[in-house]
């Protein structure tokens, strides 16, 4: 696919920074709702679109208010999009690939102009569909059907799954959940003591806050991961801890990886997951329900991939 140029007026990438040198991948093109945008290999889809001037990625489930990325860590629903024919993809974690087709969700005819957003105008004080039109059984039945059509998150995938992912059982001495500086240090210490150690992190590369630290950056984060591996630990990225089952044979952690579902049992577990300084619900909001700023962790730990300039708050959400 032909890689388009970005008009300087809408280009939000930082090209010259006094303290950091950005290492981008090869330029490529992604498609969003019929238009083609420049991205770079490995750059998150949500970041690539925002950096190219796209402010609205999707719409909220009930009132169809505009949404874009918020946490940049895969922990909110601000950037759930249809990517490559799959619904509800966390676009802030999905790497850009040449020719990738992306669409917004829960909007008609498109995310920028969503006619279904009229529901927000019709019900300025909020809408409780449980008590709406309850005086007539017929009207209430019709209303419930309309509400179900207006709400929801995405539609079924373009293609049915051909097979279920493999299920793999793992047994280790020490399991570390979280591959930031604390997790990598714990994994290295456990492995150095002779314990079989597994360190998992849900992001595309380990390092956590080190990735955006001025003194370390991606190179320093990679070095810490290499140190843990040299000590004997297994460090796995793109591995998300889904659920802990304490009643299952002394405890079992379900871990999702791109290739399989792991059933991990460990003699000892260490939680080194990052804290969140502010949750989405704790942030001030304006009368449209939009958070007025990003979370602190998002601007800190995703700084190396955001690469954006200009206004990044208000109606973008």
| pLDDT confidence tier of residue 28, bands split at 50, 70 and 90 | very high
Residue 298 pLDDT class (50, 70, 90 cuts)? very low
Give residue 9's pLDDT: 62
Which positions ≥6 away from 249 have C-beta within 8 Å? Answer: 265
Phi and psi at residue 277, to the nearest 5° = -65, -35
pTM, rounded to two decimals = 0.75
Q: Is the pLDDT of residue 280 over 50?
A: no
Most confident by average pLDDT, 1-5, 14-18, 276-280: 14-18
Fold of the domain spanning 166-271: FAD/NAD(P)-binding domain (3.50.50)
User: What pLDDT, on a 0 to 100 scale, did the predictor assign at position 37?
Assistant: 92
The confidence score (pLDDT) of residue 75 equals 81
Average pLDDT of the segment spanning 283-312: 45
Task: Identify the sign of the CA torsion 93, 96, 100, 101.
Answer: positive
Listed by start position, the domains of the chain span: 1-121, 166-271
pLDDT band at 64; cut points 50, 70, 90: confident
Mean pLDDT on 212-216: 82
For domain 1-121, give the fold. Ubiquitin-like (UB roll) (3.10.20)
pLDDT, residue 130, reads: 73
Domains 1-121 and 166-271 share a fold: no
Indicate if the pLDDT at residue 119 is higher than 70: yes
What is the DSSP annotation of 141-186? HHHHHHHHHH-SS----SS--SSPPEEEEEEEEEEEE--SHHHHHH
Give pLDDT, residue 221.
Answer: 93
Q: Which of 122-131, 230-239, 293-302 has the highest mean pLDDT?
A: 230-239
pLDDT of residue 7: 63
pLDDT at 178: 93
């Amino acid at each position: 696919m032909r890689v388009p140029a970005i008009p300087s007026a809408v280009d939000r990438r930082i090209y010259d920074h006094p303290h950091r040198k950005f290492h981008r991948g090869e330029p490529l093109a992604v498609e969003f709702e019929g238009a083609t945008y420049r991205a770079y290999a490995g750059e998150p889809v949500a970041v690539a679109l925002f950096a190219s001037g796209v402010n609205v990625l999707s719409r909220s489930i009930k009132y169809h208010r505009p949404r874009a990325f918020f946490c940049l860590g895969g922990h909110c629903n601000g950037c759930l999009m249809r990517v490559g024919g799959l619904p509800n993809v966390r676009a802030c974690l999905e790497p850009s690939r040449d020719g990738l087709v992306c669409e917004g969700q829960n909007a008609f005819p498109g995310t920028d102009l969503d006619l279904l957003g009229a529901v927000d105008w019709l019900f300025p004080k909020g809408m409780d569909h449980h008590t709406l039109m309850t005086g007539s059984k017929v009207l209430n039945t019709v209303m419930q059907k309309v509400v179900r059509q207006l709400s929801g998150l995405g539609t079924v995938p373009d293609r049915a799954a051909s097979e279920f992912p493999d299920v793999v059982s793992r047994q280790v001495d020490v399991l570390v959940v979280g591959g930031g500086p604390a997790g990598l240090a714990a994994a290295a210490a456990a492995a150095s003591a002779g314990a079989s150690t597994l360190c998992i992190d849900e992001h595309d590369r380990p390092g956590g806050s080190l990735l955006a630290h001025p003194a370390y950056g991606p190179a320093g984060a990679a070095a810490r991961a290499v140190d843990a591996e040299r000590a004997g630990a297994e460090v796995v990225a793109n591995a998300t801890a889904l659920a802990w089952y304490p009643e299952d044979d002394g405890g079992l952690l379900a871990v999702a990886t791109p290739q399989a579902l792991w059933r991990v049992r460990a003699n000892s577990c260490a939680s080194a997951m990052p804290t969140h300084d502010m949750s989405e619900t704790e942030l001030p909001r304006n009368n449209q329900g939009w958070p007025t700023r990003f979370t602190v962790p998002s601007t800190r730990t995703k700084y190396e991939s955001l690469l954006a300039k200009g206004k990044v708050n208000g109606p973008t959400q």
